């Protein structure tokens, strides 16, 4: 499959490495594009990509593509996704899907009308530790899950590589809470309503840098979803999500040191569920970096099998609706039911 990457900034370096790893799986990145000519050329030179562009329109007019991977920031997603769909090119787009719900719905409906597959690069559920949790749940070892706590709490200097965080009016929930809310859906199912308290603890931030959310799932399960960029703790667990899930007959706990402890009836078992280091990944980022490769593989495998990706645009609407509900709940001081598409 011939692909192109749009947006060659900070996080796209992981996409570039992962696409390079997938050459052996029949993937060829034939072009990259960034409005910044220096970044476009650097990406092409470093990763051996034959052509680079500074204008997405020219990219689509000049290349025969099987897919495009959009790794720009959310303000550009709607226009770029619609451009890709108009050219009939299967599209992957980074999270957050867009800046608002209407744009998210518009992309899903535009892609659906054109019968062009659309996937969101929602990678936390593909992290090796989270896949291990999914396997235990699917095995039935803890019975039906009834309670959960999903916590992304860090003081790691994320501002160094993503300085725009300081200016984001919506920060913790839209940037990283979105991943943790997605995990809550994956582990405990869809959500009936949620409440939320936000805090802005770092005076340099315009938006909330801490959120504490309480969810009632449609199954009856209850969960706590937490995210903060302002926790002071040694060791720091960045970029891990710590998980506790209690079920009818047992529980799952994922600890800071990547230890997963599973209680199943009277039996307790423990195993290490960390990600391996790849030639291009470094601690502490490696779990997040490897998940980029796992996400890209999952999306391509689904498309090759003629299926929608697990993280299709339509699926991501349910995660995005939780983000919107969290902001509305924080503002109103009341529990809010998430928007449902159709």
Rounded to a whole number of angstroms, the distance between the first and last alpha carbons of the chain is 33
Residue 3 binds which entry of ligand NAD, ligand 89Y, none, CB below 5-8 Å type-dependent: none
Question: What does 12 interact with, of ligand 89Y, ligand NAD, none (CB < 5 to 8 A by kind)?
Answer: ligand NAD
List the one residue from 20, 39, 90, 125 that touches ligand NAD (CB under 6 A). Answer: 39
Q: Which two tokens stand for residue 137?
A: 């749940």
> Segment contacting ligand 89Y (CB under 6 A): 59-67, 97-105, 130-138, 174-182?
174-182
Closer residue to ligand 89Y, CB minimum distance, 59 or 292 = 292
6 binds, among ligand 89Y, ligand NAD, none (CB under 5 to 8 A by kind): ligand NAD
Q: Which residues contact 10 (CB under 8 A, 6 or more apart)?
A: 161, 162
Cα gap 94→289, rounded to integer Å: 14
The least CB distance from residue 266 to ligand NAD, in Å, is 38
Q: Which of 19, 27, 31, 56 binds ligand NAD (CB under 6 A)?
A: 56
| Residue 242 sits in the site that holds ligand 89Y (CB under 6 A) | no
Please report whether residue 274 would count as binding ligand 89Y according to CB under 6 A: no
Residue from 1, 158, 206, 337 touching ligand 89Y (CB under 6 A): that is 158
Give the count of residues interacting with ligand 89Y (CB under 6 A): 7
Cα–Cα distance between 92 and 134 in angstroms, integer? 23
Q: Determine the residue with CB nearest ligand NAD.
A: 9
DSSP structure class, residue 239 = T
The CA distances from residue 54 to 67, 84, 156, 287, in Å, are: 18, 15, 33, 31
Site for ligand NAD in 158-197 (CB under 6 A): 162, 175
Asked if residue 278 binds ligand 89Y (CB under 6 A), the reply is no
Of residues 12 and 225, the one with the C-beta less far from ligand NAD: 12
Strands 210-217 and 191-199, bridge-based pairing? antiparallel
Which among ligand 89Y, ligand NAD, none contacts residue 176 (Cβ within 5 to 8 A by kind)? ligand 89Y
Per CB under 6 A, does 171 bind ligand 89Y? no
Q: What residues from 220 to 239 belong to the interface with ligand 89Y (CB under 6 A)?
A: 239
Helices (H) and strands (E) in the chain, counts: 11, 14
Interface with ligand 89Y, residue 175, by CB under 6 A: yes
Token output for 22 = 């997938």
Number of other residues whose CB lies within 10 A of the CB of residue 48 = 10
**Token pair for 163:** 């300085």
Nearest-approach distance from CB 13 to ligand 89Y, in angstroms: 12
| Cα-based angle 313, 316, 318 (whole degrees, multiple of 5) | 130
CB of 44 to ligand 89Y, least distance (A): 24
Instruction: Using alpha carbons, select from 152, 300, 179, 297 the residue that is nearest to residue 239.
Output: 152
User: Do β-strands 90-94 and 267-272 pair in parallel, antiparallel, or remain unpaired?
Assistant: unpaired
Confirm or reject binding of residue 95 to ligand NAD (CB under 6 A). Answer: yes
Closest CA to 248 of 149, 150, 151, 140: 140
The rounded radius of gyration (Å) of the Cα atoms in the chain is 20
Q: Is 34 an interacting residue with respect to ligand NAD (CB under 6 A)? A: yes
Give the binding site for ligand NAD (CB under 6 A). 6-12, 33-36, 39, 56, 71-74, 76, 94-95, 121, 123, 162, 175, 288
Give the binding site for ligand 89Y (CB under 6 A). 158, 162, 175-176, 179, 239, 288
């Amino acid at each position: 499959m011939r692909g192109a990457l749009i947006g060659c900034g900070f996080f796209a370096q992981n996409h570039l490495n992962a696409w390079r790893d997938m050459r052996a799986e029949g993937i060829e990145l034939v072009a990259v594009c960034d409005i910044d000519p220096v970044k476009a050329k650097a990406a092409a030179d470093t990763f051996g990509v034959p052509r680079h562009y500074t204008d997405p329109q020219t990219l689509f007019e000049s290349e025969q593509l099987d897919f495009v991977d959009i790794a720009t920031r959310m303000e550009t997603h709607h226009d770029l996704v619609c451009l890709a769909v108009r050219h009939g090119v299967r599209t992957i787009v980074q999270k957050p899907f867009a800046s608002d719900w209407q744009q998210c719905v518009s992309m899903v409906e535009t892609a659906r009308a054109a019968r062009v597959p659309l996937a969101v690069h929602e990678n936390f559920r593909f992290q090796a530790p989270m896949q291990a949790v999914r396997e235990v749940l699917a095995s039935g070892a803890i019975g039906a899950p009834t309670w959960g706590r999903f916590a992304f709490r860090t003081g790691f200097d994320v501002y160094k590589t993503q300085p725009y965080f300081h200016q984001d009016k919506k920060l913790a929930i839209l940037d990283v809470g979105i991943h943790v809310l997605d995990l809550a859906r994956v582990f405990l199912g869809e959500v009936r309503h949620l409440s939320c308290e936000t805090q802005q603890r770092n005076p340099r931030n315009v938006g909330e840098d801490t959120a504490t959310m309480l969810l009632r799932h449609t199954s009856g399960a209850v969960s706590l979803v937490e995210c903060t960029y302002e926790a002071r703790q040694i060791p720091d667990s960045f970029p891990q999500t710590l998980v506790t899930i209690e079920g009818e007959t047992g529980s799952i706990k994922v600890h800071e040191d990547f230890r997963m402890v599973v209680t199943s009836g009277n039996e307790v078992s423990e195993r290490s569920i960390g990600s391996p280091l790849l030639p291009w990944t470094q601690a502490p980022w490696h779990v997040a970096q490897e998940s980029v490769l796992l996400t890209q593989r999952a999306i391509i495998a689904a498309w090759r099998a003629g299926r929608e990706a697990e993280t299709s645009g339509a699926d991501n609407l349910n995660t995005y609706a939780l983000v919107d509900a969290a902001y509305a709940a924080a503002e109103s001081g009341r529990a809010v039911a998430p928007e449902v598409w159709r």
